[in-house]
């Protein structure tokens, strides 16, 4: 199945309340343009240099989502281009995004990355830490909190994945009740997006299903 057909299949299956972000990391401009020609406008990248390079040559109406682990010294390469940064996993990173955004005269939309998986290799705040940071968002005027992002455990136990998604959905509900506009839940990838949809995600990040296995 080709890229355009994969895009169409996903959009037919996804509820209208769920946004599709096509994860285009490591994929060439030609592949992104094939998805673009099929109507896709939101793309996800996880390397600052790659995001900046692609944004410089691809259509201006693409909404770029930064989904990878972001180092503070690379923030300046991401903030000018990112519609949404999904992977804010520390107060230090939050402060640097705020500083960079204010220097550009803009407000940067972000998600707090929450560690919901039973894997120490994954990044993110605990649920308690995320709620505490959310309560202090006024300290970072160059940043607008739009919601939460999480990655489930890489496992064949889909009930574990489901419970992890439920935990993130519950956290989102608590935060949304206190913060206007904080209603995005970014969870679900190529292997588990259907479960994520069942558990209330508002945004799925899908790469392999659309573009095939990556080359790096």
pTM of the predicted model as reported, rounded to 2 decimal places: 0.95
Q: Given this model, what pLDDT does residue 214 score?
A: 62
- Which residues does residue 85 pair with via DSSP β-bridges, in sequence order? 66, 110
Q: Given this model, what pLDDT does residue 123 score?
A: 85
Q: Strand, helix or coil at 67?
A: coil
Q: Given this model, what pLDDT does residue 184 score?
A: 98
> What is the rounded (10 degree) CA torsion for 139, 143, 145, 146?
170
Compute the distance between CA of residue 23 and CA of residue 123 in angstroms, rounded to an integer: 19
Q: Given this model, what pLDDT does residue 121 score?
A: 74
Compute the distance between CA of residue 185 and CA of residue 86 in angstroms, rounded to an integer: 10
Compute the distance between CA of residue 87 and CA of residue 109 in angstroms, rounded to an integer: 11
Sites in the chain below the pLDDT cut of 70: 214-216
């Amino acid at each position: 199945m080709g890229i355009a057909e994969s895009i169409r299949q996903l959009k037919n299956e996804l509820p209208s309340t769920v946004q599709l972000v096509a994860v285009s990391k490591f994929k060439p401009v030609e592949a992104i343009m094939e998805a673009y020609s099929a109507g896709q406008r939101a793309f996800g990248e996880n390397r600052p240099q790659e995001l900046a390079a692609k944004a410089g040559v691809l259509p201006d109406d693409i909404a770029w989502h930064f989904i990878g682990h972001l180092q503070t010294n690379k923030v300046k390469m991401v903030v000018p281009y990112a519609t949404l940064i999904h992977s804010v996993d520390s107060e230090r990173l939050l402060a640097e995004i705020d500083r960079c955004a204010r220097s550009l005269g803009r407000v940067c939309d972000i998600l707090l990355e929450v560690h919901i998986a039973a894997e120490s290799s994954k990044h993110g705040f605990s649920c308690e830490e995320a709620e505490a940071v959310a309560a202090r968002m006024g300290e970072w005027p160059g940043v607008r909190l739009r919601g939460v992002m999480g990655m489930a455990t890489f496992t064949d136990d889909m009930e574990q994945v489901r419970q992890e998604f439920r935990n993130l959905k519950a956290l989102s509900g608590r935060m949304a009740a206190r913060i206007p506009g904080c209603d995005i839940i970014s969870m679900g990838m190529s292997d588990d997006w259907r479960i994520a949809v069942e558990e209330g995600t508002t945004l799925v990040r899908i790469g392999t299903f659309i573009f095939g296995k990556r080359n790096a």
